[in-house]
Amino acid sequence: MGAQDADMHGMYAEARAALVREMAAAGALDDPAWRAAFTEVPRHLFVPYYFVGGPAGYQRLWGEDPDPARRQRWLEGVYSDTPLATRMHGGELVSSSSQPSLMAGMLEELDVRDGNAVLEIGAGTGYNAALLSHRLGDDLVTTVDLDPEITESARKHLEAAGYHPAVVTGDGALGCPARAPFDRIIATCALPSVPRAWLAQCRPGARILAPLATGLIALDVRDASHAEGHFLHTPAYFVPLRGGTAEPAPRQLGGLPRRALENDLFRFLLSLTAGSLDPHEALTLWHREHRPPRERFGVTVAEDGEWAWLDDPQGPYAWPLGGFAGE
């Protein structure tokens, strides 16, 4: 390693350490194993470029820019606790690197144990798979994405960083039966409901953590047909899962008060009840139950359907979730 390379290596390591200190100060990374992963996995290798928005549209920042000031902006963004837009198509965001503190919170909530086999839905840049591989070892980690360009890019990033989990091109809604069974499934893309195929590929006692309705649902799997759990308190906004998803019907929100529509928790309830509860009924429920936070809601997956609920799966407030095409 030459002197310049050594300087760059030290600069990246210092930037990672500063990010980890910032995340720890904010209450993330209580688990020493995940703290070590975020300290040692080089995020800059997974985001060699990204896009930042502005009045004139998106601007591309990259690590090989000849302009030193722009290179510095790129580096500061890479090791900031912010999400990064990494892939655009037709002006639309199709892939991103999530906010590191949110990633850390999700990984800690996944509650992995030594020897657990993990399936990640949504390969993204490969950074999350690298963190999982650091914690569990390459052989126990599988990441799947529908877009072959994304999986190829993620694979290259992972190899550059020294990690070699299984990177699979396929429909995430179908899981990855060739690599099953799994002890944990984590999704890094938003879902309309929980695919039944995932449960069938889980061992009994497995845990599924996935973005749903601007929240994060944590499900405990009983068997191939049954899972249940509560939402975490954390808000979560992810790029939608592409593949076997059914398109949601547009909602008519006329007449709803602006104050409610601007409230994050009410928007969560609207998203969770889309297609099954009139928005004005949702507003009535929201007021009656004193603006319930996300963690009062949950989801049940059973042989006879899949539904969300407030406080109690068998209580008075329950409604079906939108499903996947073909289910």
Task: Select which of 95, 133, 153, 193 is catalytic.
Answer: 95
The CA distance from 1 to 132, in Å, is 28
Contact by Cβ (8 Å): 325, 246: yes
Cβ atoms of 196 and 327 within 8 Å: the answer is: yes
198, amino acid identity: W
Annotation says 95 is catalytic: yes
Please give the backbone phi and psi of residue 13, each rounded to the nearest 5 degrees, phi first. -65, -40
Burial class of residue 74 in the structure, from the number of CB atoms within 10 Å of its CB (0-12 exposed, 13-18 middle, 19+ buried): buried
252 contact partners, CB below 8 Å, separation of at least 6: 279
Give the Å distances, CA to CA, from 234 to 56, 211, 251. 32, 10, 24
- Known catalytic residues are 95
